[in-house]
Amino acid sequence: MHIRTRKFIGTIVLLMLAIVWSLTAMALAQAPLIAASGWLQAVYYVVAGLGWVLPAMPVVSWMSRPDPDPDTN
C-alpha cells in the first residue's frame, strides 16, 4: 500500500477516533461520582483529554511508514 493511501485511511481513522473518544468522554463525565468532585473532574478531563494519544500513536506510525522499495520485489 502506498503512503498516500495509508495517510488517507489513517486520517479517516484518526477523525473517527477523535469523534468517538470525545463523545464517550463527555458521556462518562456526566457520571455522578465525577460530577460531584471538582478535583476528580480536573483529573478526569486531563486524562480524557490526553488519553486519545495512546490509541492514535500506532495509527500515526503506520501512516508514516515509507513505501516499500520497488527494486526488492
Q: How confident is the model at residue 9 (pLDDT cuts 50, 70, 90)?
A: very high
Residues 14-45 pLDDT 10s? 999 999 999 999 999 888 888 888 899 999 99
What is the per-residue pLDDT for 72? 62
For residues 44 and 34, is the Cβ–Cβ distance under 8 A? Answer: yes
Give residue limits of the domains in the chain: 3-9+21-66
Task: Return the closest-CA partner of residue 34 out of 47, 52, 21.
Answer: 47
Q: Euclidean distance between the first and final Cα of the chain, in Å? A: 13
Q: Which residues contact 40 (CB under 8 A, 6 or more apart)?
A: 33, 34
Evaluate if residue 1 carries a pLDDT over 90: no
Quick one: CA dihedral 3, 19, 45, 24, positive or negative?
Answer: negative
- Tens digit of pLDDT for each residue in 40-73? 999 999 999 999 999 999 999 999 988 877 766 5
